[in-house]
Copies of this chain bind each other. A is one copy, B any other.
Amino acid sequence: MPDAPVPAPDIAAELAGLIARRDQAGLRKALAPWLAQDLAPHLAGFSPEQLATLFRCAQREVAAQTFGYLPGATQRRLLKLLSQEQAAQLLEALPPDDRTAFLQGLPLEVAMQLLSLLSPQERDVAKTLLAYPEHSVGRMMTLDFVAIRADGTVADALAHIRHEGFDRETLNVIYIVDEDGRLADDVRVRRLLLAEPATPLRELLDGNAPALTAGDDRETALREFRHYDRAVLPVVDEARRIIGIVTADDMLDVASEEATEDIQKLGGSESLDEPYSTIPLFRMVKKRATWLVVLFLGEMLTASAMAFFEDEIAKAVVLALFVPLVISSGGNAGSQAATLVIRALALGEFGLKDWWRVMRRELVAGLSLGVILGVVGFARIAVWAQFTDLYGPHWLLVASAVGSSLVGIVLWGSLAGSMLPLVLKRAGLDPATSSAPFVATLVDVTGLVIYFSVAWLFLRGVLL
């Protein structure tokens, strides 16, 4: 992060010196004022051996947090150099959700070996979290929450919190469960603190407890978080038993990753799944080439369509001049419509059943946009024709053909662009796949057919 505050830019050199001298006290002192996320980027140039020394000397909590911010490859090399006991300590000190993220990046046998280093209790936690599908809410949750029955008083609840809740990730909310462990309600701790201690806990409840389901996709979780404006939401299993919590700051990373994925797909490439600035060049080319070739194969149909109208082009070369202009307008209108619909779908603004409402809007919008571009296109040719002979004696017919076909092509582009994401979603595919280039390719071929057909109507017997 180039924007991060940097307390001491020469920290890397300072640490390297201390590591070389194995100055444990000096290292602890130098590390003390650093936040793990600010420190990690400075460690990029260190060898795994240097890091191993650093991590052996650092306090366990600092080491674990910093470990969480190192690149995956460095993490794996580092673990190999540490003793089993040191590796286990590091893993145990990682927050459970970070540990899940780390373990799921490993080959299965390595992950299993590391799991065996953990204490039985922590191993159970890790296995539970890893059992949920990738990108599910279950993978993201922490198990640090306080849940109590509603039978006692506020004083009982506070005593329980003091006993149980000290090292929990968040103390803001406690959860009320029934005798089967099912989530019944949530209560803000500050309401407990404000209430008379002898008040029965039940009197503070409102019977309302929004929750996520562990098997839910993280995109669903994101929508729920935005809907409820909460700093933390509980996670329940299918029987509505509370099994964990997810915090809003973790959702920020999800929001960013999901947006990146959608944006990259919209730009007409596979999602890179790693930062643009660090992805190996070959892997990036592979991800981009796939879609580029698919689009190229689709676009080849334009050559066939053009060949079909070769005679018309030979008779009236003037028609060929406007081919790029006309078909790109359809593509632009289509990519606008597709992008707007894809984003609205991602935000949950409407569902598949609303397709007719979307289509009606795009009919009107597409027709209006088509008329606007048609008029501009007509005017352009008409004005030019006053000053040049480029368009020949029949410029008025040419202008009419271009203008009219623009209306049809822009309308068609808007309809195709808005419906394609819905069709993809209906087929169980990601709507974001209907990228701007994808829609443009689709509309280019049909656009050519519309253009030459309209031109034939206007120009037959004259130029054609």
Query: What is the interface of chain A, defined by CB distance below 8 A to chain B?
Result: 1-5, 32-35, 37, 162, 165-168, 170-172, 189-190, 193-194, 206-208, 210, 220, 222-232, 247-253, 255-256, 259-260, 262-264, 266-269, 272, 275-277, 281, 284-285, 288-289, 291-293, 295-297, 299-300, 302-303, 306-307, 310, 313-314, 317-318, 320-325, 327-329, 331-333, 335-336, 338-344, 347-351, 354, 357, 361, 364-365, 368-369, 372-373, 376-377, 380, 390, 410, 435-437, 440-441, 444, 448
Beyond known contacts A267-B340, A296-B325, A310-B390: 6 more, CB 8 A cutoff = A171-B190, A268-B336, A281-B365, A288-B336, A289-B369, A317-B320
| In the complex with contacts A289-B369, A332-B437, A351-B255 CB distance below 8 A | no
Question: In the complex where A231-B247, A263-B343, A285-B369 touch, is A333 in contact with B292 (Cβ < 8 A)?
Answer: yes
Instruction: Check A225/B252 contact, CB under 8 A, given A296-B329, A440-B328, A440-B440.
Output: yes
CB pair B300 A441 closer than 8 Å? no
Contact of A248 among B33, B222, B247 (CB under 8 A): B247
Would you call B264 and A249 a contact (CB within 8 A)?
A: no
| B3 x A296 contact (CB < 8 A) | no
Which chain B positions have C-beta within 8 A of A193? 162, 166
A361 to B4, CA, bound (A): 25
**What is the distance, in angstroms, from A409's C-beta to the closest C-beta of chain B?**
12
Q: Are B340 and A324 interface neighbours, CB within 8 A?
A: no
Q: Are A296 and B437 in contact (CB under 8 A)?
A: no
Of the residues B5, B34, B275, contact of A344 by C-beta under 8 Å: B275
| Bound CA–CA A195/B180 (angstroms) | 35
C-alpha spacing A35/B210, complex, angstroms = 9
Of B33, B267, B323, which is within 8 A of A206 by CB? B33
Q: In whole angstroms, what is the CA distance A368 to B345 when docked?
A: 35
- Shortest CB–CB separation between residue A219 and chain B, in angstroms? 10
| Residues of chain B with a CB closer than 8 A to A284's CB | 361, 365
Shortest beta-carbon contacts, A-B, top 5: A267-B339, A259-B259, A302-B324, A436-B436, A248-B248
A368 contacts which chain B residues (CB < 8 A)? 285, 289
Question: Does B321 lie within 8 Å of A300, measured CB to CB?
Answer: no
Q: In the assembled complex, which residues on chain B have CB atoms less than 8 Å from the CB atom of A223?
A: 1, 3
Q: Which one of B230, B281, B314, B321 contacts A249 once the chains associate, using CB atoms below 8 Å?
A: B230
Q: How far is the CA of A324 from the CA of B449 in the complex (A)?
A: 13
A252 lies within 8 A of B292 (CB): no
Q: Tell me the complex Cα distance, A288–B322, Å.
A: 22
Q: Are B263 and A252 closer than 8 Å at their CB atoms?
A: no
Set B252, B299, B376: member contacting A324, Cβ < 8 A: B299
Q: Would you list 16 pairs from A and B whose C-beta atoms are within 8 A, ordered by A residue?
A: A1-B348, A2-B350, A166-B190, A226-B252, A226-B256, A248-B252, A259-B262, A267-B335, A277-B349, A289-B369, A296-B332, A303-B321, A317-B317, A323-B323, A324-B444, A436-B436
Assess A293 versus B376: contact at CB under 8 Å? Given A33-B206, A310-B317: yes
Q: Are B208 and A343 in contact (CB under 8 A)?
A: no
A206 vs B168: C-alpha distance when bound (angstroms): 21
User: Which of A2, A34, A166, A320 has the most chain B CB atoms inside 10 A of its CB?
Assistant: A320
Q: Which of B297, B341, B436 contacts A276 (CB 8 A)?
A: B341
